[in-house]
Structure 1
Amino acid sequence: MILIAAVAIIWFYRDSQKPKTKEVPYIYISGEAQGTTYNITYSDDENRNFKQEIDSILNQFDLSLSTYIKNSEIAKFNKADSFQFKSPYFYPVLEKSKEIHEASNGAFDPTVYPLIEAWGFGPEKVDFPDSSRIEEIKAYVGFEYINFTRQKVLKEKDKVSLDFNAIAQGYSIDVIFDFLKSKNVQDMMVELGGELRVSGKNENGDLWSIGIDDPKTEADQQAKRVAIIKLDNEAISTSGNYRKFFVYEGKKYGHSINPKTGYPIQRDIISSTVVAPSCMEADAWSTAFMVTGLEQAKEILSQQDHLKAFFIYEDADGELQQYTTENLGGNIIL
């Protein structure tokens, strides 16, 4: 009995000396930015709430790259021949845009802004453009008409205008992600407008799982999922014309514009999902592949092995099909 008591005392003593596993709280933050909403989840053993800092960052980001803010840096450039930017956000987007423009053979082109305006997808609503108007605008659409340094961007042609909506939202997610990393946050999900980037694990200790919507789901119905993608310290973006479009004389026109033709795209891919190391890349490439179409997208992906992709496309008979890159492996559930 004395021995049992002694062993029990020793066990309880040793147990009391063991470091207790601390349950790290998860913080949930949401708000509005860039004409949409954001949702951020992260774990922090200090239980810190960074909403005020995040809102401030997103506000400063919009003052640099939003075409919907009249006094933003990009709006000022669009009205001038050149512009010397002061924010830290302008140059990284220019640099990455040039890289993806070249790698996509011009399918990704931020100078498409005048065409976006002409088709009524900009801040102002306009009448349906005729073919002569489109041809006129195409004369000053092309990223080769832009030159830039780390401090300045200038036009090689009059009327050239920039629109970073197909890359800036992803980049803003990267900016918030990096901010949280600087605060030693390891497990997080940063989502804005449906695009997101993750690190570590979710609250259940699993990889973050993201659902891909069925593009045929009606707008007034609850979205159906056609796939689940697990992210391992990655970013994801989905582009498609099944949500944002208009109908003119019985024909549907999506918001993605082909910079080479000047017209809304009529390609086989109707939903383009890209997984990449950064959300800026995922955002831009998901748009670019909507423009390239399936076969050219496959060729590009064979050269860009850091990208993963999942496409929903229409075959020659109008039937929906799916394409998945092999490097998604077991991280996609269909």
Structure 2
Amino acid sequence: MNNRIKNALYSLVLIVAVGAVWLYRNNSSDKAQEESIPYTFITGKAQGTSYNITYQDEEKRNFKKEVDSLLLAFDKSLSTYREYSEISYFNKDEIDSLNFKTHYFYPVLEASQKVYEASKGAFDPTIYPLIKAWGFGKDESNFPDTATVQNIKAHVGFDKIAFNEQAVWKKTDDIGLNFNAIAQGYAIDVLFDYITGGGVENVMIELGGEVRAAGVNDRNEAWSIGIDNPQAGKGGSDRAAIVKLKNQAVSTSGNYRNFFVKDGVTYGHTIDPRTGFPVQRDIISATVLAPDCMQADAWSTAFMVLGLQESKVILKEQPQLKAYFIYIDENGTTQNFVSEDLKDKIILGE
């Protein structure tokens, strides 16, 4: 066989091979597109706000009924707004202990204790008597005098309760619990564990502005979560930043929505357990990324209480946390702080 025939045969084989590869890839692409699993979106009302959940499920299940059931059971344990919840029962003056009827109470106590100790008391769910005194949660806020606040503080402190896996009890009278600064994050974790426990890998759960996500969105990208600008009403954009979230949770705390004004002074609805008074610190918005939403929720509140300098110290001690703070400097200028390990995952607004 001469070289001309050999070359012709080689070219023919090459063309056939290239065509076969093209057909295989094209068919594979069409097949993958046909078998693409759509994302499901569910929404509903819960805990005085709303939830939004997006997920990709091979079995195309709708989890709304299960989600609503879980949130209802959760509220019956930890909601202070439900008269017959476990926490409302414990907070009654005549009650000195509670034997847990659900498995929700102990984990949130355990997590609260860890943040209480690490924050040196800046986060403390035993501030329930102070919340009542200030009237937070009601239509109108009170303004107790210093003597009243000091008397109430004698009944505040995580060391004034004791607990184990079966029960919690009071060491002193007039003490109570409020988990509003951690329970919503924990509720998200409960939903997250349920949905991912069913085999779902790509999911985003948002409840009241707090988020936990795993995997990727329908564009095969990390989930993009917007952070509200606390000064949007002063001419700024609605979004202060966007964070890229993958296999993490994020929570933002701020006093720019919940506050009251007395004698020209603005007071936020975040109480410093160490002073008994609403915080007036340099941080006006604290966003925290953490492995779970319970931690993110609790620490975003703690950082609002601690202020910028103390929070920076805590971030070095808690390497699992990433933070974005909007704060007012000594000149009254709005500034941003982004922890080093978050800088490649956040886009700041103009």
TM > 0.5: yes
Question: Out of 228, 242, 248, which is 1:213 matched to?
Answer: 228
Does the 8 A contact of 2:254 with 2:284 survive in 1?
Answer: yes
Q: Structure 2 CA distance, aligned partners of 1:231 and 1:100?
A: 23
Q: Structure 2 CA distance, aligned partners of 1:6 and 1:93?
A: 62
**Structure 2 gap ranges (5+):** 1-11
Q: Provide closer, same or farther for how the CA distance between residues 316 and 18 of structure 1 changes in structure 2, counting only shifts above 3 A.
A: closer
Partner of 1:77: 90
Amino acid aligned to 2:85: S
The yes-or-no answer on 1:105 pairing with 2:116 is no
The yes-or-no answer on 1:276 pairing with 2:287 is no
C-alpha offsets along residues 256-312 of structure 1, whole Å, 9 cap, x if unaligned?
Answer: 000011100011100000000000000000000000111110111101001000001
The yes-or-no answer on 1:199 pairing with 2:214 is yes
Q: Structure 1 CA distance, aligned partners of 2:55 and 2:82?
A: 30
Partner of 1:49: 62
After TM superposition, the structure 1 stretch with the greater mean CA deviation from structure 2, 223-232 or 284-293, is: 223-232
Partner of 1:116: 131
Note the 1:1-334 alignment, pairs <5 A. 20-21=31-32, 22-79=35-92, 80-123=95-138, 125=140, 127-218=142-233, 224-334=238-348
After TM superposition, the structure 1 stretch with the greater mean CA deviation from structure 2, 221-230 or 298-307, is: 221-230
Amino acid aligned to 2:197: S
Higher Rg: 2
Sequence identity of aligned pairs in percent?
56
Partner of 2:7: none
Q: Structure 2 CA distance, aligned partners of 1:232 and 1:130?
A: 46
Structure 2 counterpart SS, 1:47: coil
Does the 8 A contact of 2:229 with 2:236 survive in 1?
Answer: no
Q: Structure 2 CA distance, aligned partners of 1:93 and 1:115?
A: 20
C-alpha offsets along residues 52-83 of structure 1, whole Å, 9 cap, x if unaligned?
Answer: 00000000000000000010000001111110
Structure 2 counterpart SS, 1:20: helix
Does the 8 A contact of 1:117 with 1:124 survive in 2?
Answer: no
Q: How many residues matched? A: 332
Amino acid aligned to 1:260: R
**Structure 1 gap ranges (5+):** none
Q: CA deviation at 1:314?
A: 0.6
Does the 8 A contact of 2:244 with 2:345 survive in 1?
Answer: yes
Does the 8 A contact of 1:274 with 1:307 survive in 2?
Answer: yes
Amino acid aligned to 1:23: S
Amino acid aligned to 1:20: K
Q: Provide closer, same or farther for how the CA distance between residues 294 and 17 of structure 1 changes in structure 2, counting only shifts above 3 A.
A: closer
Q: Structure 2 CA distance, aligned partners of 1:11 and 1:249?
A: 75
C-alpha offsets along residues 133-187 of structure 1, whole Å, 9 cap, x if unaligned?
Answer: 1111111010010100101000111011000000000000000000001111110
Q: CA deviation at 1:222?
A: 9.5
Q: CA deviation at 1:40?
A: 0.5
Q: CA deviation at 1:316?
A: 0.5
Q: Structure 2 CA distance, aligned partners of 1:318 and 1:7?
A: 67
Q: Structure 2 CA distance, aligned partners of 1:76 and 1:264?
A: 26
Partner of 2:3: none
Q: CA deviation at 1:8?
A: 7.5
Q: Provide closer, same or farther for how the CA distance between residues 5 and 53 of structure 1 changes in structure 2, counting only shifts above 3 A.
A: same
Q: Provide closer, same or farther for how the CA distance between residues 100 and 23 of structure 1 changes in structure 2, counting only shifts above 3 A.
A: same
Amino acid aligned to 1:120: G
